[in-house]
Amino acid sequence: MKRFILAFTILFSISFQAQTDPKIYDIIDAVSEERLRNDVKTLADFGTRHTLSDTLSETRGIGAARRWIKSQFDTISKDCDNCLEVFYQKDLVEKGTNQRIVKDVMVVNVVAIQRGTKYPNRFIIMSGDIDSRVSDPNDFTSDSPGANDNATGMAGAIESARVLSKFKFESSIIYVGLSGEEQGLFGGQGLAKYAKENNWDIIGVLNNDMIGNISGVDGVIDNRTFRIFSEPITTDETDPEKLARQARGRRFYGGEVDGISRQLARYVYKTTKTYMPEMNPMMVYRLDRFGRGGHHRPFNDAGFAGIRIMEAHENYTQQHQDIRTEDGINYGDTFEHVNFSYCKKLTAVNAITMASLVSTPPSPKEVGIGGIVEASAKLKWNKVEGAKGYKIYWRDTTSPTWDNSRFVGDVTEFTLEGIVIDNFFFGVATVGEDGHESMVVFPNKIIR
């Protein structure tokens, strides 16, 4: 009996200390550079994928591009016993909605859902964009290959579907090509609205926008670093009184840098550091690049966690440019500038983040914290069905990452002896099978 207990204890502690799941390494290996290259080439070869471009041709324009994307998802689905629900989600955007909508246009997204076995209505979303543009945002006829911006993100979503559709997960995954990005983030708005109408329980959105450039306009060449943009707090609250109450709460209890999108960014960071230690994830504490936008924002506006994953070094001569040569510089977002081994790595970052998130039960909804004028902080949370246990995280208030943690087993409250509440930020995550963890939840209640 004693020996049995000892063996059990060793097994138990190994499984929770190692915290790596061999399946995740298989997923990294399965992402194909070759298929990404082929798909970006195919997308670039549609000539232009401008949102307002031709929809009837079979070879040129956004119509041909989205039909091809749908055909890829359909093929993937056939190969996995129809494991994907593939459909177009569309909204009419009327002429004059903004200056970039110069005629009525149907903004069409291509959606592929891989249903979870246990939480079919709980989703992690990976998005890329279908559309492209040149120097004049309203020029919908000129050649606009959009190889890096954003055929790479689109190809990444398709490739992730190929890889992850070979597995079964507890929660659902959505792979999506969004349209209308360059004209004003219309595809994201449409899908966020659709998600609300259909009561989707969204874990988060991984918006991939330009994941293939390693050679920056600053001269830096770097195939290891990538950026994760996240806004500090995410809310769809509009009632000024409630907003004021939330702000007051943050002033006294913290939380200014701990919104749900920020927790998602930290999750991507941690998962990358664990499974792809050769990579340098770089969290940027802002919504997006300075003054610029991306398709995670409409999801943030709707109250969902959403981040942007992208290269660290951009090349502006290869973004939103007419194809031309000027002063010896080749302008244009063309196929030959894309680095596919980097694109493969960032695709793998998405795939392993999603695989981890859909392999674990949901985060606790309610997390309370207490310990004012006491020597020890205590945390309390709601029980999550199917959880193997919970992990308490804490960090110095100036640290961007959850640096300290303690697995506390299958309990719903715990006191961290000697850890003073004033000096750290705290959070709680659910731990599921194979040691996978949910996103960390920052306390949303005070216990007295």
Binding residues for Zn ion, rule: CB under 5 A, are: 149
What's the closest the beta carbon of residue 101 comes to Zn ion, in angstroms?
16
Q: State which residue, 299 or 402, has the beta carbon closest to Zn ion.
A: 299
Q: State which residue, 272 or 315, has the beta carbon closest to Zn ion.
A: 315
What's the closest the beta carbon of residue 244 comes to Zn ion, in angstroms?
36
Q: State which residue, 180 or 204, has the beta carbon closest to Zn ion.
A: 180
Q: Which among 319, 335, 331 has a CA at the least distance from the CA of 41?
A: 335
Q: Do 112 and 77 touch, CB atoms closer than 8 A?
A: yes
Q: State which residue, 150 or 171, has the beta carbon closest to Zn ion.
A: 150
Cα(406)–Cα(388) distance, integer angstroms: 14
What's the closest the beta carbon of residue 128 comes to Zn ion, in angstroms?
12
Q: Which among 286, 190, 292, 298 has a CA at the least distance from the CA of 230?
A: 286
Cα(105)–Cα(404) distance, integer angstroms: 50
What's the closest the beta carbon of residue 182 comes to Zn ion, in angstroms?
5
What's the closest the beta carbon of residue 349 comes to Zn ion, in angstroms?
20
Q: Do 92 and 129 touch, CB atoms closer than 8 A?
A: no
Q: Which residue is nearest to Zn ion (CB)?
A: 149
Q: State which residue, 293 or 400, has the beta carbon closest to Zn ion.
A: 293
The residue type at 242: K
What's the closest the beta carbon of residue 157 comes to Zn ion, in angstroms?
16
Cα(85)–Cα(77) distance, integer angstroms: 8
Cα(400)–Cα(60) distance, integer angstroms: 45
Q: State which residue, 149 or 231, has the beta carbon closest to Zn ion.
A: 149
Q: Do 309 and 208 touch, CB atoms closer than 8 A?
A: yes
Q: Which among 358, 341, 385 has a CA at the least distance from the CA of 123?
A: 358
Buried/exposed 104-121: b ≥16 CB within 10 Å, e otherwise:
ebebbbbbbbbbbeebee
Cα(386)–Cα(370) distance, integer angstroms: 26
Cα(428)–Cα(45) distance, integer angstroms: 47
Q: State which residue, 21 or 149, has the beta carbon closest to Zn ion.
A: 149
Q: State which residue, 135 or 376, has the beta carbon closest to Zn ion.
A: 135
Peptide bond connecting 150 to the previous residue in cis, omega within 30 degrees of 0: yes
What's the closest the beta carbon of residue 206 comes to Zn ion, in angstroms?
17
Cα(54)–Cα(41) distance, integer angstroms: 19
Q: State which residue, 292 or 406, has the beta carbon closest to Zn ion.
A: 292
Q: Residues with Cβ < 8 Å from 317, sequence gap 6 or more?
A: 217, 329, 330, 331
What's the closest the beta carbon of residue 179 comes to Zn ion, in angstroms?
13
What's the closest the beta carbon of residue 445 comes to Zn ion, in angstroms?
41
